[in-house]
Structure 1
């Protein structure tokens, strides 16, 4: 069963987020009190290009299983460290198709828009971490492991322990790409 391990938010544009007891998701907006919430893009690099583009990165979800993998390489990480809003367990986020809807708890619906594309800030946080989160696979294509981004379709509260259900879109499925 897929579940929420932790939730986090931060009002400022900091790299890491603060783990909290619960977060409120607002439909069409994202996480109440989080710097990346809003209808239009909030990530500074994207705002510089076009501040009016839609915000496809309202909610960042990350798989907890990644932490164990990174620990083998000497990276000891805690919830919120990588800027995720929702840390999950038991769901292979990176294998979901684009437009998968995640039902979290009884009320929240998030639509997965794509892969998080981590930037060089990660190496400022922990030197060498970026190459563990983005690297070339055996086929020569980039492999991104820094979680997925989503938009809020239906709001409500999300807490540690909430169940997560993945509702895949109709075929044909489109693979996740960076957003």
Structure 2
């Protein structure tokens, strides 16, 4: 089991990133106020803290995790790398992993070599669909949902 170490959202493409301590998520809107909520396969994006740190070490960078534009930063947890795995966050929220999130050109704009460093082993993160909504807060436990 791991925990949610950070929460972020952005309401428009290339728009400002807002860091939060908690946020509502729903099957209808994904992360409340985030531009990707209507995308079925990636309503919520998750990023492993260690994956981001490793990519930063490889490129010699020191960018904060939210520059990846992910919604949830997880630590102490290895995100499943296959579609259909369900994740429970806290007591109420259930997400289903749908897709690997490929890093875009923006990552290369942020730091040379970053896009390539994030292509290894799902380091760019996982996209998930909200199955059961609720509130996600920094410090919430994240785990694989029992079948």
TM-score normalised to the size of structure 2?
0.90
Asked if 1:76 is matched to 2:54, the reply is: no
Q: Could you say which residue in structure 1 is the equivalent of 2:10?
A: 10
TM-score normalised to the size of structure 1?
0.75
Asked if 1:86 is matched to 2:72, the reply is: yes
Q: What RMSD over aligned residues (CA atoms) do the two structures have, in Å?
A: 1.8
Q: Which of 96, 102, 112 is the aligned partner of 1:127? A: 112
> Which whole-Å deviations, capped at 9, do the CAs of 1:18-64 have from their partners, x for residues lacking one?
211211101243111001111xx4xxxxxxxxxxxxx2111000000
Distance in 2 (alpha carbons) for counterparts of 1:4 and 1:33: 19
Structure 1 residues without counterparts, runs of 5 or longer: 42-54, 136-142, 170-179
Q: Could you say which residue in structure 1 is the equivalent of 2:23?
A: 23
Distance in 1 (alpha carbons) for counterparts of 2:2 and 2:21: 19
- Report the count of equivalent residues: 146
Q: Which of 164, 169, 178 is the aligned partner of 2:142? A: 164
Q: Runs of 4 or more off by more than 6 Å in structure 1?
A: none
- Contact kept, 8 Å, 2:118 with 2:124, in 1: the verdict is yes
Distance in 1 (alpha carbons) for counterparts of 2:146 and 2:101: 19
SS across alignment from 2:135: strand
Distance in 2 (alpha carbons) for counterparts of 1:107 and 1:168: 14
- Contact kept, 8 Å, 2:30 with 2:37, in 1: the verdict is yes
